[in-house]
Amino acid sequence: MRLYDSLTREVRQVVPADGRTLRVYSCGPTVYRYAHIGNMRTFMLGDLIARVARFEGLGVRWVMNITDVGHMTDDTSDTGRDKMDLAAADEGLTPFEIAAKYTAAFHEDRRALGIGDADVYCVATDHIDDMLALTRTLVDKGHAYEVGGSVYYAVESFPEYGKLSGNTLAQLKAGHRQELEIDPNKRHHADFALWKKAGPNRLMKWASPWGDGFPGWHIECSAMSMRYLGDRFDVHTGGNDLKFPHHEDEIAQSEGAVGHPVVGTWVHGGFLQQAGQKMAKSARNITRVTELADQGVDPLAFRLLTFGTRYRSEMDFRWEAMEGANERLSTLRRRMAEWAAAGPAPGPEAWSEAARAFDGRFRDAVGDDLDMPQAVVVLSEVVTSAAVPPGERRALLLSFDEVLGLDLDREAREAWEPTAEMRSLVSERDAARAARDFAAADAIRDRLVGMGLEVMDAADGTTVRRRG
Ligand code: AMP
Ligand code: ZN
């Protein structure tokens, strides 16, 4: 797979550092409110990279953080409020209750969008010790200093500061906004907090060598990415707005601590917009995943819709286009059911020359910096191709769906009925189980599995459904 690296600003081949398992870290949600479909577009980027890596035969270890402390209302001044604290005050809940509520909602939303499970969801407040240890390392190495109970990263100690975002110290100085409220004790106005002294009313605070306080937002991603993926991992994802300051600061922290580059490829996704404006709670133009369903749209159709735009580009969300994608998804599923009725889907070894050519083109597209618009073109050509028999068309789409995650076989699955032979095997098996003849029951299970079925046992008997 090739991906565009925001740091070197070129498309490059992504090869796992250990040759086998792609290690991916995705900045996850700040759980102080419901995520909107713009956030979800960015989370789908990490999912897509994981899916393509698996499609290409790699192992994947995917880590996503859950931010539940330290993300301030203003990234660049020193006086913002913690978003978790504000939400807690607004809703009359504790910050931990807020986190639990919106973390649960996030998982529901991402599942509805076919975003697979990460291997690890790491929660910032579970890793305060890791953040403190990293902060102490940075102080020891001369990259950070304490003042008045807070610890700041000294940006001048890291000569490469600005290499990701272009916000070098010279640039920052020139563009420095005088109206920003900056802690006067800082050595440089761009120094950022690793640890902040807790004010008197603050609920979430922890003891530290510098007194009671709480971590800055950026330090969690340095601490947790290296804890779960080591100090050299392959891919780091986030939305475009995270390049600065979040990822610029993560680079300064992680590289300052370990003395070498940590992330192989930085991947950033473009914004989802509505009427030309970034989708954001503050802009009051957000759409939630649950609202898609309320409007009669399958959330997976939003997935299909996003495939129409390259991930790096901004994408405008329009309801007409959303409904169009919903129609297209229904049509695809209907075609899959028609092809399924015509016979089984053959394995790749039996595919025709034409089917193999489509498979190659699809693989090229998804491997080419996730060229999903092109992948969807290939898919559409398969659907109408006279050269590929129906069973192979279904086989191709089933394979493509490992990347697309559109549940294309849903209607085929629901329309499917077991044959008379399958039904009689199921009754024989129920009888064997009732008679506690488990050897016979197992033998029948093996026959059913051999027929391409999934066998599910419940107290009231066995049911089968078709695999693939
Ligand atoms: P947050 O929950 O605010 O920390 O944001 C989670 C992720 O959503 C980050 O990677 C952001 O870059 C991303 N994000 C925020 N707004 C949008 C948007 N309108 N379109 C795409 N991604 C977004
Ligand atoms: Zn992050």
Q: Which domains are present in the chain?
A: 2-269 (3.40.50.620), 274-415 (1.10.730.10), 420-466 (no CATH)
Which ligand does the CA of 247 lie closest to? Answer: 2
The pLDDT assigned to 468 comes to 57
Question: Cβ distance 176 to 183 under 8 Å?
Answer: no
Residue nearest to atom 15 of ligand 1 (CA): 39
Q: Which atom of ligand 1 is nearest to the CA of 27?
A: 10
The pLDDT assigned to 159 comes to 97
Q: 10 Å Cβ neighbour count for 289?
A: 24
Q: What is the DSSP letter of 244?
A: I
Beta bridge partners of 21: 59
Residue 243 vs residues 68, 131, 168, 276: alpha-carbon distances, Å: 20, 21, 13, 21
Ion ligand 2 contact residues with beta carbon within 5 A? 27, 221
**Residues 6 or more apart whose Cβ sits within 8 Å of residue 436:** none
- Beta-strand ranges (E) seen in 114-271 are 120-123, 144-147, 150-153, 192-197, 213-215, 233-239, 263-269
The pLDDT assigned to 181 comes to 79
pLDDT tens, position by position, 355-368: 999 999 999 999 99
pTM for the whole structure: 0.92
Q: Which residue has the tokens 């807690």?
A: 88
Ligand 1 site residues, Cβ closer than 6 angstroms: 27, 29-30, 38-39, 41-42, 67, 238-239, 241-242, 271-272, 278-280
The pLDDT assigned to 457 comes to 86
Q: 10 Å Cβ neighbour count for 107?
A: 15
Distance 313 CA to ligand 1 centre (A): 14
Question: Cβ distance 168 to 161 under 8 Å?
Answer: yes
The pLDDT assigned to 175 comes to 72
pLDDT tens, position by position, 414-460: 888 888 999 999 999 999 999 999 999 999 999 999 888 889 988 88
What are the b/e assignments for 388-418, b being 16+ CB within 10 Å?
A: bbbbbbbbbbbbbbebbbbbbbbbbbeeeeb
Which of 32, 39, 106 for a ligand 1 pocket mutation test, highest count of atoms within 8 Å of Cβ? 39
Q: Which atom of ligand 1 is nearest to the CA of 242?
A: 12
Please give the Cα distance from 106 to 100 (Å, whole number). 10
pLDDT tens, position by position, 183-211: 889 999 999 999 999 988 888 999 999 99
Residues of the chain falling short of pLDDT 70: 178-179, 468
Which ligand does the CA of 71 lie closest to? Answer: 1
SS3 assignment, position 156: helix
Question: What contacts 24+ positions apart, CB below 8 Å, involve 460-465?
Answer: 461/426, 461/430, 462/426, 462/429, 462/430, 462/433, 463/426, 464/418, 464/422, 464/426, 465/413, 465/416
